[in-house]
A and B are shown apart, each in its own frame.
Chain A
Amino acid sequence: MPTIEISKKDLCILTGKNFSSEQLAEMLHYAKTTIESADADTLKLEAGDANRPDLWSVEGIARTLKGQIGKETGMPRYRAENSGFLLKNAGVKARPLIACAVVKNLKLDYNAIKQIIQLQEKLCENFGLKRKEAALGIYDFDKIKWPITYTEAKPDAIKFVPLDMQEALTPREILQRHEKGRQYSNLLADEREYPIIIDSAKQVLSMPPIINSDYTGKVTEKTKNVFVEVTGFSWRFILPVLNIMVSALAERQGKIYSVRVAGKNKIITPNFMPKATKLNIEYCNRIIGTRLAAKEICKLLEKARFSTKLLGNSIEVSYLPYRQDIMDERDIIEDVAIAYGYGNLKPEEAKIPTIGKASEFIAARNKLTELLLGLNMQEIATFTLTNKETLLKKMNLPEIEVVEVGNPVSATYSCIRDSLIPSILDFLSQNTKKEFPQRVFEVGECYDIKEQKTKNRICIAVTYKDANFTEAKQVIDYIAKALSFECNIHEITDSRFIDGRAGSIKINNKSSGILGEISPKVLNAFRIEMPVAMLEIDLDIFS
């Protein structure tokens, strides 16, 4: 979930209402946002809706709150004025599509600029998948000579001063030396020519999706008019990003002008044509569990910034394209419920005749646990994630296939175990200075790579100065008798155990486990200085 910072004062000005801190904490739920921390005027918010990028800036939050307090309801009235601004797409292999807008008459203060930069960053990182699907650039309109060209340049063909630097660099140098260049160079890795936006005075505006130029691409408190562009591969990402940014600027009283793109792609943006969908009144009430009249639903929708028109059994609901999340009636129904207030919805019991049942192996597990607790054994919990060193090397096993994670965060947790024995030895190795005897057990999951199956196993360890095979065998005999299954032991050779003191366990004639005294080589590897006898059984046999 994205986290954003806003100024409380800025929010109050944009909403036109002075909220107390308590009011605000409640009101922000309407924008699916929670306050993580507050420091003087700065609020750190967690944006709870990963699919509502329009709520990732103070302007979008203000738009929502204005509706909920009744200050401004219905669909916002954003309009894009036609203009002669033209951008020519000359064909860019690395990022083929571009869409643009111009916003004028802005009064940008410190907070406004902070929000623009933050929204740009969140849109490109989170929604635009780390700039791959959408990269947004914003420029000082008054420094640009129209028309503009979106084209490509060879790595060493041109030079310009990128944002936050003093010297002119070639595109190749930017990818190598600029912080953003290094961060996003993978997006242009295999390209022979790089995307460039250039105006008719041959000034380079930017090198999408990497960096703007320092001259045109810097927005300050002196900036009155801006040019915005978004590049990428698919309109599904590009258009919402452009629309959400421009809609945010519109909340700051910016005047919006459309820009025509010609050449390799043709489009006039931004587009504020409302989208419309039908909401069935009965279905809406059925999902929420209410009996709201059509008019009431309309009123709630207007508060949620929709425009409505009653059509008999249904309501025609209109909204602006910044609501790119709406796919189904349900998305609108949720907004009705939120506007009604989750707190006003009284919980209601539904009669659902079902019979509860735990997994089959749970009964066996509970029985075994009871028996082992009766033998004074301590139940423990270990991780299923471990590593090759513990699974194989310390266990004196050859290099056999174990399930490995392709992207481990640490080497300690890089494999899924195939047995509980290493986990429990690891546990014992951390308790060598504690009181003995130690008798421990765990029921846990392992992955059997041969059968490609997760298995529940029980593993028991006994360790103290006289721990031996006999005790392990006594335990399995005791369990077998209590659960009345037939159990046979066959001698085996296994490098994890002392030769001549290891056996496989057959339960009801099916190979189901292993027991024995752990080899001193293994104990040494775990730095355990007490003999250990163990047994491990599959719980599958009980289900």
Chain B
Amino acid sequence: MNDKEGIASSLSPIERKILPFLECKNVEEIVEKAKTDKTTVLRALEFLSNKKIVELSCKKQKNVVLGSNGVLYTKDGLPERKLLNIFSEETSFSLEEAGKESSLSENEFKAALGALKKKALVNVENGRIALQGTKENVSRKMPEEVFLEQLPIEVESLTAEQKYCHEHLKNRRDIVRIEEQKAISFQLTALGKSIAKEPLNSTFVEQLTPEMLQKGTWKGKKFRRYDIISRVPRIYGGRRQPCYEFLQNVREKLVAMGFEEMNGSIIENEFWNYDALFQPQFHAAREWSSTYYIKNKLKPEQIDKKILARVKQQHEASWQYSWKIENALKYILRPQGTVLSARQLAKARIPGKYFAIARCYRPDVVDASHLSEFNQAEGIIVQENLTLRNLFYILELFAGEIANAKEIKFVPHYFPFTEPSVELHAKHPKFGWIELGGAGIFRREVVKPLLGKDITVLAWGLGIDRLAMFNLNINDIRQLFSQDIDWLRGVK
């Protein structure tokens, strides 16, 4: 389809629309003359270029564009205009009055006054500003105002007057800035010139309609040829949120490994989160700096009296202090998923394997590595005669199945409710040794009061948000909760 006719028959309506205007200097001019928008013109130019009707060239150029204040000023007026406007009734103000009347910030006021003095439109004497220019001078647009309206302009094509304005404005805060932009220029090819000269045949069929099919009017008609190479407008499908999708995959893997999911409330009391997990009531972790406390008065939970008595007895025997139920009934935002394990343990089947993927909370200042709320995967395995080596087996399984880790190591660690305790580290191809999670065998002081007898309970927790970050290849934890729909629509 190299022949002229073939090409002419493939021109789309938008291409036809701009074809008569290809003698124009730039895209903006076509937009104006063809009465269409810039995206359409660019798309049409791209189509035409694919058909070798025009030659496109893209060059980088430096443009003077509006800064954020510039955008504001073109709408509301430059500070010097605002200052001038106060002289509608009176011709002289004290500096202080002028500042108030013009409602400019101190910096803006200074800049405006300087600019007007330079133009000899005002005069400052004895702390008073007086209008100097004639009414006509004052009401005429200042060159800077004209300049701002003309932007963007390529730096190289600035006229002397524009250069002068640019010099003036560039030192003031974010009125104008220089931006490197891609500029598209185009030129008709020889083929293009000859096509442009000829009258366009517009009898091609654009869209096949049901009516044409019913009446058979399509017969003998020519369909416009499409440019099937050129880009089409984007569409968006339904996508899962990547972090939630990752968590769901983890859930499915844990279920496949025989774990049953635990559920609980995001608002918990201290009993299940601390007391049941053998953390004494004077423990530093229970202070305000590490747990969110609930302000509202909520009804206290009715906890099984037998369990309460056994926990009290254990605390008082081991820690030698007077354990108080009032301290245990306070409500907090769940700071760790282990609270679900504690609740489950009190009613666990033996043998039993349980897990939870829980939203947890800590009073941290939000930054690239901390969130106020995050996700944790936690769980327990309850069976007689389990060993530390059995725990290592489970951790090794997790490292391979969930984190896809090839090389791991077990490092001694401390958790208040497990003994022995271990931290699982894995070698990451980019970041070296990283921590995947913590685990241990629940202390007897935890198990006996909750279960009424001493059975081995392996407990584990995985830093699931970090795993999600590695999985998604992101460095900023805030991105797990990205509020940018474009990112969510486009993420790999």
Contact = CB atoms under 8 A, between A and B. Distances in A.
Given A50-B414, A287-B388, A373-B238, A359 B489 contact: no
Contacts, number: 250
Contacts of B312: none
Interface in B461-492: 480-486, 488-489
B244 A356 contact: no
B445 interface: yes
Interface in B350-374: 351-353, 359, 361, 363-366, 372-373
Interface stretch (B87-95, B183-191, B417-425): B417-425
Contact of A354 (B265, B288, B353): B353
Interface string B294-309: 1110110000000000
A348 B261 contact: no
Contacts of B388: 287-289, 337, 345
Given A286-B387, A358-B255, A405 B333 contact: yes
B236 to A, nearest CB: 7
Contact of A330 (B254, B419, B423): B419
Contacts of B238: 372-379, 439
A413 B266 CA distance: 15
Contacts of B265: 447, 453-454
A453 B299 CA distance: 11
Contact of A362 (B251, B266, B363): B251
B373 A383 contact: yes
Contacts of A330: 419-420, 441, 443-444
B258 interface: yes
Q: Which of A49, A51, A327, A381 gathers most chain B CB within 10 Å?
A: A381
B441 to A, nearest CB: 7
B244 A342 contact: no
Contacts of A404: 294-296
B292 interface: yes
B379 to A, nearest CB: 11
Given A330-B420, A350-B390, A431-B483, A129 B282 contact: yes
A190 interface: no
B392 interface: yes
A401 B258 contact: no
B318 interface: yes
B413 interface: yes
Interface string A384-412: 11000000000000000101111111100
Given A347-B392, A407-B288, A352 B351 contact: yes
A408 B352 CA distance: 38
Contacts of A366: 248
A378 B365 contact: no
A342 B389 CA distance: 9
Contacts of B359: 384, 445
Interface in B25-49: none
A434 B486 contact: yes
A416 B265 CA distance: 12
A413 B381 CA distance: 35
A358 B261 contact: yes
B363 A409 contact: yes
Interface in B217-246: 234, 236-241, 243-245
B13 interface: no
Contacts of A416: 266-267, 333
Given A29-B411, A356-B256, A359-B261, A369 B240 contact: yes
B20 interface: no
B261 A362 contact: yes
B386 interface: yes
Nearest to B372: A413
B133 interface: no
B258 A380 contact: no
A61 interface: no
B483 A356 contact: no
Contacts of A380: 241, 483, 485, 488
Contacts of B365: 409-410
B261 A328 contact: no
Interface string A34-57: 100000000000001111100000
B445 A357 contact: no
B267 A352 contact: no
Contact of A407 (B260, B261, B363, B392): B363
A337 B239 CA distance: 47
Contacts of A438: 485
Interface string B423-462: 1000000000000000001011100000000001000000
Contacts of A430: 483-484
B393 interface: yes
Q: Range of interface residues on chain B?
A: 35 or more
Interface in A61-111: none
Contacts of B421: 334
A128 to B, nearest CB: 10
B233 to A, nearest CB: 10
Interface in A299-344: 327-328, 330-331, 333-334, 337-338, 342-343
B239 A379 contact: yes
Given A350-B383, A355-B260, A406 B480 contact: no
Given A49-B414, A345-B389, A357 B295 contact: no
Nearest to A403: B296
B263 interface: yes
Contact of A452 (B298, B352, B441): B298
Contacts of B488: 378-380
A427 interface: yes
Interface string B269-303: 00000000000001010001000111110110000
A385 B255 contact: no
Contact of B259 (A50, A290, A331, A356): A356
Contacts of B390: 289, 347-350
A438 to B, nearest CB: 6
A412 to B, nearest CB: 8
Contacts of A337: 388, 420
Contacts of B263: 359
A328 B481 contact: no
A347 B363 contact: no
A129 B298 CA distance: 29
A536 interface: no
B257 A356 contact: yes
Nearest to B393: A347
A467 interface: no
A347 B481 contact: no
A194 interface: no
B485 A378 contact: yes
Contacts of A29: 411-412
A429 B295 CA distance: 29
A368 B194 CA distance: 59
Contacts of B260: 354-357
Contacts of A236: 319-321
B272 to A, nearest CB: 14
A378 B236 CA distance: 9
The 9 closest A-B CB pairs, nearest first, are A289-B387, A289-B389, A373-B238, A334-B420, A356-B255, A49-B414, A347-B393, A347-B392, A342-B410
Given A381-B244, A430-B483, A442-B241, 7 more contacts: A48-B423, A129-B284, A288-B420, A352-B353, A354-B352, A356-B254, A403-B295
Interface of A: 29-30, 32, 34, 48-52, 126, 129, 133, 236, 286-290, 327-328, 330-331, 333-334, 337-338, 342-343, 345-350, 352-359, 362, 366, 369, 372-385, 401, 403-410, 413, 416, 426-427, 430-431, 434-435, 438-440, 442, 445, 447, 449, 452-454
6 contacts: A288-B387, A337-B420, A347-B390, A356-B258, A381-B482, A385-B333
Interface of B: 234, 236-241, 243-245, 248, 251-252, 254-267, 282, 284, 288, 292-296, 298-299, 318-321, 333, 351-353, 359, 361, 363-366, 372-373, 381, 383, 385-390, 392-393, 395-396, 409-414, 416, 419-423, 441, 443-445, 456, 480-486, 488-489
